[in-house]
Amino acid sequence: MLVQGCSWLGIGGDEGWLRDREGEYLEARITPVMDIPAELDSYTIDQLYYIPPEAPGEREVYVVPPAPKPIDTRVREGVVIQRFGDRAWIVVGATPGQVWPTLRDYFATEGLPVASEDAVAGVVETEWVPQDDSDVRNRYRVRVEPGLHAGNSEVYILQVDDEGETAEGQAVTWPSDSENLEREATMLASLSMYLADRTDIYRGSSVSMLAGSIEAQGKARLDDSESGSTRLELRIDFDRAWSQVGQAIGNAEIELLSSDRDERRYIVSFTGTENQEEPGFFGRLFGRDEEVEARQFDVTLSDTADGILVEARVSDGAPAPYQQDLLVRTINDNLI
């Protein structure tokens, strides 16, 4: 009766709004490629799918596509500048392969001459750029690499300067830190604003095939294969790991009892619930006769061949596998 009504109103049926569209793709026409004016960006207008000209021999025409990668809920939205002491870098909520085309476009838009670029390594180096009203010249090295979590990227800038004594074409010896932190900060702010203004563009555009070879594995990885307890592996130096683990504890609103940087240890109080102040959905639904006991944990950082290992143990040595696992995972989820 409902279908007849829809047909009578002009909604259903062969000519209605809700008609059966199965098979209409067989009658679709191929239209010319969109012509984008030269003064407008065109790199986001790409062919999304490749259509083969003929069936691939005797093989099956229809194959099962690979399962999509799970959505990583830790992907950071937008663009932020992360700071630690004198060090600063840009955190972008996109993969290096997505960021790379926009990063290259930045230099063309700003009129900065590029001396070399390596998409596989994710590195761009500029030519010497004169500084206004001065004999000083600046040169920049920009590097994009994976962030702490898969789906994020980090962009680093290195700066050197001279007064014209470096010969044209002479190789530059890049220092470990920028020679002028103010110039680095200026460049960092300019690039971060450019990336932030184009968030939708590089998140929606196709991935650079060359830059797609940049390692996509995040610098933070959970591991429970060897010890039987969940551990967090961070491929960063201790100074940054110490700062970011402490920041993650604060972001998760875990109660911090004390910290000792020399001992590489945080002592926290953790209940092992989704929210330490309010009960979860089932707790509110069925009520909770007794409160979950908060346990005291030692969160320790130790060196490994590749970086830092973060572990959590109950301070009194009693077993608490569920709470230990959730504590480490909570720290991981709150890393920035």
Residues 132 and 236 both lie in one domain: no
154-to-78, 92, 120, 157 alpha-carbon distances in Å: 12, 6, 15, 10
The DSSP string of 157-204 is: EEEEEESS-SPTTPPP---SS-S-HHHHHHHHHHHHHHHHHTHHHHHH
Q: Looking at residues 122-130, what average pLDDT do you find? A: 92
pLDDT of residue 201: 53
Please give the residue that has the higher pLDDT: either 27 or 257.
257
Summary mean pLDDT of the chain: 79
As a whole number of angstroms, the distance between CA 6 and CA 47 comes to: 38
pLDDT of residue 70: 44
Residues 98 and 175 both lie in one domain: yes
Residues 207 and 227 both lie in one domain: no
As a whole number of angstroms, the distance between CA 305 and CA 303 comes to: 7
Start-to-end Cα distance in the chain: 56
Lowest model confidence (mean pLDDT) among 32-41, 138-147, 149-158: 32-41
Task: Pull the structure tokens for residue 327.
Answer: 């504590």
Residues 142 and 109 both lie in one domain: yes
Domain boundary among 213, 241, 268: 213
Residues 203 and 265 both lie in one domain: no
Question: Per the domain annotation, does 73 fall within a domain?
Answer: no
Q: Is it the case that residue 260 has pLDDT exceeding 90?
A: yes
223, HSE (Cβ side, Cα atoms, 13 Å):
15
Residues 87 and 141 both lie in one domain: yes
Q: Assign 63 a pLDDT band (cuts: 50, 70, 90).
A: very low
Lowest model confidence (mean pLDDT) among 41-45, 79-83, 89-93, 264-268: 41-45
**CATH of residue 318:** 3.30.310.170
Judge if pTM exceeds 0.75: no
Question: Per the domain annotation, does 14 fall within a domain?
Answer: no
Structurally, the chain folds into a number of domains equal to 2
Q: Is it the case that residue 97 has pLDDT exceeding 60?
A: yes
As a whole number of angstroms, the distance between CA 301 and CA 94 comes to: 28
Question: Per the domain annotation, does 146 fall within a domain?
Answer: yes
pLDDT of residue 164: 80
* List of residues 6+ apart from 286 with CB closer than 8 A: none
Which contacts of 255-258 are long-range, i.e. CB under 8 A and separated by 24 or more positions?
255/294, 257/296
**Residue 285 belongs to what domain range?**
221-333
Please give the residue that has the higher pLDDT: either 138 or 203.
138
Q: Assign 90 a pLDDT band (cuts: 50, 70, 90).
A: very high
Task: Pull the structure tokens for residue 122.
Answer: 């994710």
Backbone dihedral angles phi then psi of residue 35, each to the nearest 5 degrees: -95, 115
Question: Per the domain annotation, does 282 fall within a domain?
Answer: yes
pLDDT of residue 69: 45
State pLDDT tens for residues 261-319.
999 999 999 987 655 444 444 444 444 445 567 899 999 999 999 999 999 999 988 88
pLDDT of residue 86: 86
Pairing of strands 129-130, 255-260: unpaired
Q: Looking at residues 160-166, what average pLDDT do you find? A: 86
The DSSP string of 82-129 is: EEETTEEEEEESS-HHHHHHHHHHHHHHHTPPEEEEETTTTEEEE--E
pLDDT of residue 271: 87
pLDDT of residue 168: 77
Residues 206 and 84 both lie in one domain: yes
Q: Looking at residues 12-34, what average pLDDT do you find? A: 69
**Residue type at position 98:** Q
Please give the residue that has the higher pLDDT: either 294 or 213.
294
Backbone dihedral angles phi then psi of residue 286, each to the nearest 5 degrees: -100, -5
Residues 231 and 174 both lie in one domain: no
Domain boundary among 176, 193, 213: 213
Q: Which of these, 125, 76, 127, 130, lies nearest to 104 by C-alpha position?
A: 125
Q: Which of these, 303, 73, 202, 301, lies nearest to 313 by C-alpha position?
A: 301
Please give the residue that has the higher pLDDT: either 188 or 229.
188
Please give the residue that has the higher pLDDT: either 112 or 26.
112
Backbone dihedral angles phi then psi of residue 76, each to the nearest 5 degrees: -80, 135
Q: Please work out, in degrees rounded to the nearest 5, the angle formed at the alpha carbon of residue 335 by the alpha carbons of 331 and 336.
A: 165
**Residue type at position 11:** I
Q: Looking at residues 148-172, what average pLDDT do you find? A: 87
Q: Assign 326 a pLDDT band (cuts: 50, 70, 90).
A: very high
159-to-108, 197, 296 alpha-carbon distances in Å: 19, 24, 45
Q: Tell me what percent of the residues of the chain surpass a pLDDT of 70.
A: 70
Question: Per the domain annotation, does 167 fall within a domain?
Answer: yes
Domain boundary among 157, 187, 213: 213
Residues 89 and 185 both lie in one domain: yes
Question: Per the domain annotation, does 256 fall within a domain?
Answer: yes
